[in-house]
Amino acid sequence: AAVLACLLSHPGDMVLTEYYKGGGSSVIGSLQRIVGDKGLGGLFLGVKARLLHVIGILWVQLVIYDSMKQLLGLPATGH
């Protein structure tokens, strides 16, 4: 779910970042500038780095979760 949310929210974050940088006179103007300069793929620039970040956080959380379960004497997930 987190990966899907990351993929779905990334274009909006790109537009808002461009807008806050002053790259457009409005949010719609920022969207038009990104798409005009880089095509629709411009809305997904940096998504790989963001996915690595999110997946890394999820992995660490799951490892900590399983470790805590084992410390409490409970079986690890999947056992």
The residue-averaged pLDDT of 42-56 equals 94
pTM of the model: 0.71
Burial label for 18, CB within 10 Å (0-12, 13-18, 19+), is: buried
Question: Which residues make Cβ contacts (< 8 Å) with residue 20, sequence separation at least 6?
Answer: none
Q: How far apart are the C-alpha atoms of 51 and 73, rounded to whole Å?
A: 33
The residue-averaged pLDDT of 66-72 equals 92
Condensed to tens digits (0 to 9), the pLDDT of residues 4-24 reads 999 999 999 999 999 999 866
Q: How many whole angstroms from its chain centre is CA 21? A: 20
Q: Is pLDDT of 74 > 70?
A: yes
Q: Please give the pLDDT value at position 79.
A: 65
